[in-house]
Amino acid sequence: MRDFRDAKLMAKTLRQALADRDISLTHSETLEIVARQFGFDQWNILSAKLNDAEGVKSAIGIDPPVPIFRIFSVEKAMEFYCGFLGFTLDWEHRFGENSPLYCQVSRESMQLHLSEHSGDASPGAGIFVRVKDVRAYQAELAAKNYRYMNPGIEEAPWGFEMGVIDPFNNRITFCEQD
């Protein structure tokens, strides 16, 4: 489903659809129509809302980091991250047939790199991940009856936390903050 952040694409699509029916509108006119569809009086107001939603980014464009966790068993890592936590294996890389694995797993917008290469990361690392509904995630994990872990929720001064520890002693704290 599209939302106001897709407004420019929606205006372009509208303009093309109308042109296919021999109705000619300028790009500005279609932007104004889309703004009204979202309940704004004019495009400039919607445009300001778009800038607020995207945040002001510098030309450098720094994105959130992607942590690297050291693993020692691909099977145990996949069982934990994909089977238990519900991540998806996005890609994997090996330099050769008998080389260590380097891969990416993700869930929603969270990406995590897992590496069997010594020197890429130290086992026992920890990361802090903000989530919208830690109780729903905890209920999902509890329903899996994972034999090695049944994480609970703890209240901290900054929000509600659920901690998990992978088979290699790497820690992830999922936190719901107000």
pLDDT digits (tens, 9 = 90+) for 56-104: 556 788 888 999 999 999 999 999 999 999 999 999 999 999 999 999 9
Beta bridge partners of 130: 175
Predicted TM-score of the model (pTM): 0.68
Query: Phi first, then psi: what are they for 84, rounded to 5°?
Result: -85, -55
Between the two ends of the chain, the Cα-to-Cα distance in Å is 26
Confidence class for position 1, pLDDT limits 50, 70, 90: very low
Q: CA 52, CA 120: separation in Å to the nearest integer? A: 37
* Whole-number average pLDDT of the chain: 88
Question: Would you say residue 49 has pLDDT above 90?
Answer: no
Question: What phi, psi does 90 have (nearest 5°)?
Answer: -85, -45
In which element (H, E) is residue 75 found? Answer: helix 74-78
DSSP 174: E
Integer angstrom CA distances of residue 86 from 78, 110, 141, 156, 173 = 10, 12, 9, 25, 15
Task: Please compute the mean of the pLDDT values over residues 126-136 and round it to a whole number.
Answer: 96
pLDDT at 114: 97
CA 142 from centre of chain: 22
The answer to whether residues 175 and 161 touch, using CB atoms and an 8 Å cutoff, is yes
Q: What is the pLDDT of residues 12-31, one digit of tens each?
A: 878 888 888 898 888 788 88
Domain ranges of the chain: 4-54, 68-176
Quickly name the fold that domain 68-176 has: 2,3-Dihydroxybiphenyl 1,2-Dioxygenase; domain 1 (3.10.180)
